[in-house]
Structure 1
């Protein structure tokens, strides 16, 4: 890898390259250190987005409230998106909005989804208290009852905030 980056630097001419930005994997750190030793005018910098992603990953892994809240949020969105008729209810009560917005950094997706759930808290609660919901076949499954409990749980919403 060092050789490849070194070739790229040579192609652009060393005096035109002052900084190399990579992710924070150990192999990139080693390569960055080697390149800075070899080329005095060069700086290696870890990617800020990757650093933030690692911090967010640590929150989810090391903070129980984060882990539990994300798990509950995932259950809500996974259940809703597994049933087309529930997606229709979601679209109706949110006026066409979606909860899942994939982005480049994988761990931030969970937090953005929780944010979007929070923005649409009222619509979610209206889904589970609507006549359309009460008359659906889904209200009788244990999985759905668990999801409904999460949506009605004040502590879940407090933890999102």
Structure 2
């Protein structure tokens, strides 16, 4: 939904979405940014051109100030180990969502893809994805053993992907408020 298309398309949905953004921006203008932050973090709220203009106007008129007290670490700053965990979690989500793989298989595929990229970096391509349907559970176990990936690494990523690890909870807390 880039622009409200009055002639063709469905303007009612775009107008309703714009109304939600306008209401959130008005609340933020009065000092309560909770609704605006929630919409910005939402995966379903469409940020069209008109809504982006509202947010830009708000940011131009108001100076961003830090809260009192100890400052939280920005979401874009992370240690190398947190960055690795975040990338591995993104791969697990990819294998679960896009390839519809079982959880344990997605974890092992993510570790194998990470291990392969560290061994043979591909220039400018980031790390690749393994074709998940090409391997059986037994073949994955053999590949993990050959790659030298420890059971501790598998267990750590399994716990992190399941949301049961302290640093992962800290990363999620920083992103959600």
Q: Normalising by structure 2, what TM-score?
A: 0.27
Task: Give the helix-richer structure, 1 or 2.
Answer: 1
Task: Give the strand-richer structure, 1 or 2.
Answer: 1
In our comparison, the structure showing a higher alpha carbon Rg is: 1
